[in-house]
Chain A
Amino acid sequence: MNEFTIGLGTTLIGMGVVSITLLALSFILDLFKVCSVIPSPKIQSLPEQHKEKAMVEMPQGEHMETSEELDELQIIAVITAVIAASLGTTTDKLHIQSYKRVSPNPSGWNAAGRRENMKNSSY
């Protein structure tokens, strides 16, 4: 009976420690939520980086008028971000040298081949 009484104490302490630790963790994780609201500087700077890169790397012949240039750079930034996300890498490892519109419904083989090419040249 004595051991059982000690066991009851162990149960109280045990459940207490488990609950308090996990509760403390849950409050700490609440702070994470606050942190995640602030956009990470890396993400914030991405479009800027790519605007710069795109401007440097765009073939001369493909430059258009100034008003359209900004739109194009934004498109390149978006394309770069999407490709980086799909390859599971970061945008600083990618160089968009040129781009062109392709058929909206490529065959599965073409799409797979294109993805493979992008992946191989990104590392």
Chain B
Amino acid sequence: MDFLNMLLETMQGFLSSTGFMALDYKSLIMIAVALIFMYLAIKKEYEPMLLLPISFGMLLVNLPLNGLMEEGGLLQYLYLGNKLGIFPPLIFMGVGAMTDFGPLIANPRSIILGAAAQFGIFFSFLGALLLGYSPQEASAIGIIGGADGPTAIFLTTKLAPHLLGPIAVAAYSYMSLVPIIQPPIMKFLTTEEERKIKMDQLRPVSKDEKILFPIIVTILVVLLLPSSAPLIGMLMFGNLIRESGVTDKLAQTASNALLFIITIFLGITVGATATAEAFLNAKTLGILALGLVAFSIGTATGVLFGKVMCKLSGGKVNPLIGAAGVSAVPMAARVVQKVGREANPTNFLLMHAMGPNVAGVIGSAIAAGVLLTMYGK
């Protein structure tokens, strides 16, 4: 009899220590959300490189009693890479090593479109302030409009780390939805005739120019805005090792192995911040709504400024390329190409759109630097 009692007690003890007994409806909702993101990543291929690690991190951390993000937990240690602001700049280095700034150098005026598209960031920032978010939270929410995941994560970990999960999910979700969100705005703000405009071929860019570019951008931007040094510095360093022609192996490592390793760590730890307590609240809904507004406004202001440039250039600039000013490299440029081609099948806007597109990356990093300077502790 004593033996049976002991067996029962042991069984009870074991059952109460399993995650099944600790499951609540909030955890179940978050597990369902994680599974939906996994489905979108695997079946629909929406930003799978990031959405899959994010969704798996989300799944892991919402399985009760896992302890992964608690003191001594594996993901808590990996999360230090985000918390200390290490992973996003390293991602930027890989992006720099992959990016050809040639189209931007060939058409310097297109860089202004990258600035115009950043208005979405500040519009949402103001909207978030009106809705009662703190200035730090509003800054982190606004940066979603930059359509640049690493920048959003970098700024959020510095200003509002408690919002990292919802902001990262919103930023990457909207980036993957660029082909759905942007075309209606682009078509609404332009006429058929404007979309048909064919642009002149870009001039060839010499190797010397490509080497000088990252050096000059680093000196100018970091002197003007020292807080943007981690992002701009790493972006331009990655680009310099690509363009110098003497460090091919470094460039290959930065744009392949290192980038993918960091992407895995960043994705899974960002997902692990999306606990039920952090995610299932009214603030998340506000973040998702404001993020969409930021993205849409950024696209709209880019296109509107494109229209201004079209008028000023005597109809030589296709205003659609302004939509690529929201970073999301290279998807936003591809969307411009697709919409331009729908209007005129002989139109080839991809390289013209890459100028504002990569300018948008620089622009959103500068905007993040401004917000960090104003509201960083």
Contacts and interface: CB of A to CB of B under 8 A. Distances in A.
A71 interface: no
A70 B206 CA distance: 29
A8 interface: yes
Contacts of B135: 3, 6-7, 10
Interface in A12-67: 13-15, 17-19, 21-30, 32-33, 35-36, 40
Contacts of A33: 108, 203
Interface residues of A, number: 28
Contacts of A29: 104-105, 108, 111, 213
B225 A13 contact: no
Interface stretch (B43-51, B88-96, B114-122, B174-182): B114-122
A19 B224 CA distance: 12
Nearest to B221: A21
B130 A21 contact: no
Contact of A7 (B138, B208, B362): B138
Contact of B126 (A11, A18, A24, A28): A11
A1 to B, nearest CB: 9
B370 A25 contact: no
A21 B225 CA distance: 10
What bracket does the count of chain B residues touching chain A fall in? 35 or more
Contacts of B105: 29, 32
Contacts of B363: 18, 22
Given A7-B129, A18-B115, A36-B206, A24 B220 contact: yes
B308 interface: no
Given A22-B115, A23-B112, A17 B206 contact: no
Contact of B370 (A14, A22, A27): A14
Given A4-B130, A18-B363, A21-B225, A11 B108 contact: no
Given A26-B108, A26-B111, A26-B112, A17 B125 contact: no
B108 A35 contact: no
B22 interface: no
A15 B123 CA distance: 10
A21 B221 CA distance: 7
Contact of B108 (A10, A21, A30): A30
A112 B232 CA distance: 41
A15 B208 contact: no
B367 A36 contact: no
A36 B220 contact: no
- Pairs of residues from A and B, 10 with the lowest C-beta to C-beta distance, nearest first: A29-B108, A26-B108, A11-B122, A22-B115, A14-B370, A26-B111, A7-B129, A19-B115, A32-B209, A22-B111
